[in-house]
Amino acid sequence: MPSWSVVVPAKRLDVAKTRLRPLTESRDDAVAAHRELVLALLADTVAAAVACSVVGVVVVVTDDPRASDVVRALGATTVADEPDRGLNPALEHGARSAPGPAVAALSSDLPALRPAELAAALHAAGGAARAFVADAQGTGTTLLTAVGTDLLPRFGPGSAEAHLTGGAVALAGSWPGLVRDVDTEDDLRAALGLGAGPRTTEVVARLAR
Ligand SMILES: Nc1nc2c(ncn2[C@@H]2O[C@H](COP(=O)(O)OP(=O)(O)OP(=O)(O)O)[C@@H](O)[C@H]2O)c(=O)[nH]1
Ligand SMILES: C=C(OP(=O)(O)O)C(=O)O
């Protein structure tokens, strides 16, 4: 039975994922191309979460009208990016508006995420009050979960250590798409190597033309 609420943060597309700007900045349509790439990463991530068998609701925290339209069409709901004090307060706001006792914060830049991987991680997370999955580098976090307690997100540099210190259990498993967040061009190449979702694959192909 679907039971998890998944909260995905997405700041305005134009200002998000600045470390990916080198991929598009030499183009005449640099601003639009960057926006399309960031949106594709978000859309593939949200589509995988919506398709996950144990996810009941996906809540995207965003003020971006285009991102809102796209994720709603995929089956997610959206809430405003409040209180406008950065990533962790935005996640706390999203978690408060999410139904049920089981809530997860998921990175928005996981284009190779598979629904079954997320289901496996959430299944493992269900045994702990709070748990997290570190990113491929081991320093960041791609998934933070809470069951019947506050999420207490500490995303940002060194967030894996912060979540561990804060009492969350580190989860390990075979979920390559779940740990492969895309911050840089190398990360994007790695995600494409795993098999990225259709929107990211299409945008990258268009950028290469
Ligand atoms: N809703 C919301 N999402 C945020 C906020 N800050 C960051 N995020 C999202 O959280 C994710 C990770 O954030 P960061 O690591 O800061 O990424 P970023 O700022 O987009 O990327 P860089 O500019 O390359 O560092 C991205 O998907 C962001 O869109 C915020 O204030 N509100
Ligand atoms: C915010 C984080 O992610 P990144 O900066 O890698 O997107 C994090 O790992 O806590």
* Region of residue 120 (phi > 0: left; psi between -120 and 50: alpha; otherwise: beta): alpha
Q: Is 24 annotated as a binding residue?
A: no
Output the CA 18–ligand 1 centroid distance in Å.
9
Backbone angles phi, psi at 134, to 5 degrees: -75, 155
Length of the chain in residues, anyone? 209
CATH node for 4-208: 3.90.550.10
Residue in the structure block whose two tokens are 């991680």: 121
Give burial (CB, 10 Å; 0-12/13-18/19+) of 29.
Answer: exposed
Q: What is the 3-state secondary structure (H, E, C) of 156-208?
A: CCCHHHHHHHCCCEECCCCCHHHHCCCCCHHHHHHHHHHCCCHHHHHHHHHHH
Residue with tokens 């285009």: 66
Tens digits of pLDDT across the chain (209 residues): 569 999 999 999 999 999 999 999 999 999 999 999 999 999 999 999 999 999 999 999 999 999 999 999 999 999 999 999 999 999 999 999 998 899 999 999 999 999 999 999 999 999 999 999 999 999 999 999 999 999 999 999 999 999 999 999 999 999 999 999 999 999 999 999 999 999 999 999 999 88
Residue nearest to atom 13 of ligand 1 (CA): 87
Q: Give the mutation target among 8, 11, 41 for probing the ligand 1 site: most ligand atoms within 8 A of CB.
A: 11
What distances in angstroms separate CA 169 from CA 7, 31, 107, 203, one per listed residue?
A: 19, 39, 18, 36
Measured at the CA of 177, the angle between CA 51 and CA 120, to 5 degrees, comes to: 60
Give tens-digit pLDDT for 7-23: 999 999 999 999 999 99
Residue 156 labelled as part of a binding site: yes
Listed by start position, the domains of the chain span 4-208
**Tens-place pLDDT, residues 68-101:** 999 999 999 999 999 999 999 999 999 999 988 9
Cα 102-108-110 angle, rounded to 5 deg: 100
- Does pTM surpass 0.80? yes
Query: Residue 135: CB partners within 8 Å, gap ≥ 6?
Result: 107, 141, 142, 160, 179, 180, 181
Pick the atom of ligand 1 nearest to 19's CA.
24
